[in-house]
Amino acid sequence: MKVRIEEELCISCGLCSQICPDAFAPREDDGIAVVIANERELDSLPCAEEAAESCPTEAIIIE
């Protein structure tokens, strides 16, 4: 599964990294979410989809 963050949409709320800490983490300097799992790892992380659905700004794009 390919997942990316639309950085301009991310409001650094931290929700995705709370829901799926193995897939997302806040960037140290500004809290913008980054994807920390590779494509294969994401395939076995259903919480990544849950985080995408929960993102308040729909900044998580599953391709």
Footprint of ligand SF4 (CB under 6 A): 5, 10-16, 33, 55-57, 59-60
Whichever of 11 and 44 has its CB closer to ligand SF4, that residue is 11
Q: Which is nearer to ligand SF4, 13 or 47 (CB)?
A: 13
Of 12 and 38, the one with the shorter C-beta distance to ligand SF4 is: 12
Q: How far is the CB of 20 from ligand SF4 (least distance, A)?
A: 9
In the Cβ-directed half-sphere of 58, how many Cα atoms lie within 13 Å? Answer: 0
Sign of CA dihedral 56, 9, 4, 22: negative
What residues contact 9, with CB distance under 8 A and at least 6 apart? 57, 58, 59
